[in-house]
Structures are given as structure tokens and as C-alpha cells.
Structure 1
């Protein structure tokens, strides 16, 4: 599985060529740009924002529709995600959550103040629950979305151990969000182990940054519903 994720990331970089993450000087909005050179920040987000949602899209859409979640009509998707992005930014301002926008998808990247795991642990620490509560509140307000939850580790330990630990971290966040009202049918989890670092694993600060979970939010569209046979 880890080999597959590495190959996916390489394929994304090769396909997009010169892509980077840029910040609007006025709004503070972060987007993926294809006009700038590839940088560290861009390389760290390309693999998450490109490609399909986790798991089979039709099966997952069926579960979501079965849970009573509606879809967003094609022409309204952009406005729906614009509003969700704005509300998510307001809700998480000052918490350490970086809301990254690419097309109609959002990536919630959290620094160590927002959510960080102790070494070899995957439990949600008390000081991080308020931030997750704010995220959960916005996700429940905008319920016509798929939610991909991605766990990561630092490079300490074996590959196989880190893979399991990263899955457990993603599951812990999923279960917490579910306890705060986010519908389980909308959420899927994956662990990337140590294969997607965003900081230098040779320092304690860097390792702390890499022990993280990120959340990708993708709209459920009418096309998804039609493809699933509804």
C-alpha cells in the first residue's frame, strides 16, 4: 500500500508539472497554482488534493444518500464550497488550521497547536478537542461533502508500525468527528505512515509536525448521485 501512495504522489507531480501553493495577499486564501515552480509546500499537498475520493465513489455515494445527505447541483458547487471555505476559515481562525483550497476541494492541514499526537500515540489530546469541535460544526453545516481523513507519522519506528499507527490516528479523528455529529457515511480514512512528511524528521520540531492528521473535503455532486444509480 505504501508503494502505491508513493507512486500516486509521483504521478501527480509528473502530471501537473510546475505547480505550487500560493497565498492571496488580500484574502489569505491558499490555492494550488500551476504557474509557479514546485516548492516544499506544493509537493506536500499535491498528493492529497489530486485524484478521486478514498474508496469506491459509487458505493460511498450510495451510503451517503442512504444516510439522508443530499447532493449539490452542478452550477452551485463552486458557490457552496466558497461559502464553506469562508466559514471554515472563520471557525478555525487562530487555531493552527491551514485551510488550503484547490478547485472545489479543501484540505485542512493542522499544525501542532491544532492537532498533534504524542510519540507512539493516537488518542485525541484534550487541548485539541476544541479545534476539532469547530471543524465538526462546519462539516455538519455543509453536509453535502465527502470527508477523507488522512493519518501520518514521523520516521521513528519501522515502516509497518508507522503504517498501522497512521491508520489509527485517522480513525481516532473520524470517531471524534462522528461523536460530534458528522455522519459516518461521509467519512473515509487512510494511513500514509511516514511517506508524506511536511517537515524535517531529523529534528524534534519536524517530527512533531509530521505526527498529524489532515482532512480533505470534496463536494457530493448531482453527477455522483446519477453515477451511483439514483
Structure 2
């Protein structure tokens, strides 16, 4: 409710034309992806970087209690296989890698395609990619979604921790704005920990600046 209220207030202050576009098929006015992302980014900042979906292990109980069926046995592998194939197809040539680790799927979103340097505002050309991810995750609603932000080692550890949290939250908030249940999410910032390349080179630092989405099956 707070998020919706903030978007309405900000749209009012900016003017309706700045916040809406016309659907080419229905003619209806709707909030544009770029504007929605900017508003969500502003709201995240106004809330002091508070992260959504901090339920962790409680997610299973909450979702099962809400009537989302759990996966079991051989159905788990098949379910994740189909989800992986769909994500691979939609994210081809997007700059996002799709990696399978057991029954989990990891989407690696490099900083050079998701954010400008030293910013937690999602790049406008990345909204279509996140929209594709959201479409798949809506279909596969028995999947838990962990979003983690990472930085390189440039700057202080405290600053990098805060930046990684803001970036992870920006991605998660945008996905939630596309209709995904926030109870499926766990969002965290990892700062400069867990580098996947050397921070001694520009190329390595570029790889370390990233957001990772780990998708896990919902089980009992």
C-alpha cells in the first residue's frame, strides 16, 4: 500500500504525462517501465534502503499456508528444467547468464548492463530484460527468489555494502512491480565479498559488480 501511495503522489507532483504511456493495443494509459523503475528507485531511497522480502526460511511456510503447492520428488527437477529452458530462451543475447547448480538456477546480471557506475538506478535499456524474467517467474510461481547485490573492492567496505543493498533492492522492487509476490523474495547486499574475479584488474572489477538472482524450488 505504501509503495502504491508513493507512486501516486510522485506522479501527481511530476504530472500525469511524465508517468504514463498509452498502450498501443488498448489505448489505455499505463505507467511506463522506465518511469515505474525510477519511482521505485526513489521510494527505495526514501525508505532508507530497507530491503523487501527478509523472511528467509519463513517463506516456505508462508507460501504453503497461502495455498501455493510445494514440489516434491521427480517433479522438482522437471519443473526447474523447464524454467531454465524458458529463461535461457528469453535471455539469450541479453548479457545475463543462466547457470544451473543442482536444482537451483542462477541469473548473473553484470553491473555494466544493469546499472550506471556508482548508481542503483536500473539502466533504462535493462527493463525489457527484467520484464522477460518477470514473465517466466509469474508462470513458475513455485519458485523462491533470492536477489543478492555485489560490488568490487573500490571504495570503503561500508559504502560498498550499502550500494550492493540498494542495487539488489532496485531489481527486486521492479520485479515485484511487475506482479510477483513479494513473499517469494529474499533480498540482501553482499558488498565486496564473494568476488568471482580478481579486483586487481578493470575487467575483474567489472565482473564483480553484479546482481545475482538465485531461483530455488518451493518444497516442504
Give 1 or 2 for the bigger CA radius of gyration: 2
Residues 111 and 211, structure 2, Cα contact 8 Å, conserved in 1:
no
1:3-50 CA distance string (max 9 Å, x none): xxxxxxxxxxxxxxxxxxxxxxxxxxxxxxxxxxxxxxxxxxxxxxxx
Q: State how far apart, in whole Å, the 2-side matches of 1:169 and 1:104 are.
A: 26
Alpha-carbon spacing, 1:112–1:122, altered in 2? closer, same or farther (3 Å)? closer
Instruction: Provide structure 1 residue ranges, at least 5 long, that are not aligned to the other structure.
Output: 1-53, 225-230
Aligned with 1:82: secondary structure? helix
Q: CA RMSD in A?
A: 1.8
1:94-130 CA distance string (max 9 Å, x none): 11111111111111112356x3322321111101111
- Quote the residue 1:214 is aligned against: 212
1:53-107 CA distance string (max 9 Å, x none): x8542x2112223444322232311110111111111111111111111111111
Residues 170 and 190, structure 1, Cα contact 8 Å, conserved in 2:
yes
Instruction: Provide structure 2 residue ranges, at least 5 long, that are not aligned to the other structure.
Output: 1-53
Residue 188 of structure 1: which of 177, 180, 186 is its match?
186
Q: State how far apart, in whole Å, the 2-side matches of 1:140 and 1:87 are.
A: 12
Residue 131 of structure 1: which of 120, 126, 129 is its match?
129
The alpha carbon displacement at 1:195 in A equals 1.1
Q: Normalization by structure 1: what TM-score?
A: 0.67
Q: Normalization by structure 2: what TM-score?
A: 0.70
Q: Which runs of structure 2 are paired with 1:56-205 in the superposition (5 Å)?
A: 56-57=56-57, 59-112=58-111, 115-205=113-203
Q: State how far apart, in whole Å, the 1-side matches of 2:97 and 2:126 are.
A: 15
Alpha-carbon spacing, 1:158–1:107, altered in 2? closer, same or farther (3 Å)? same
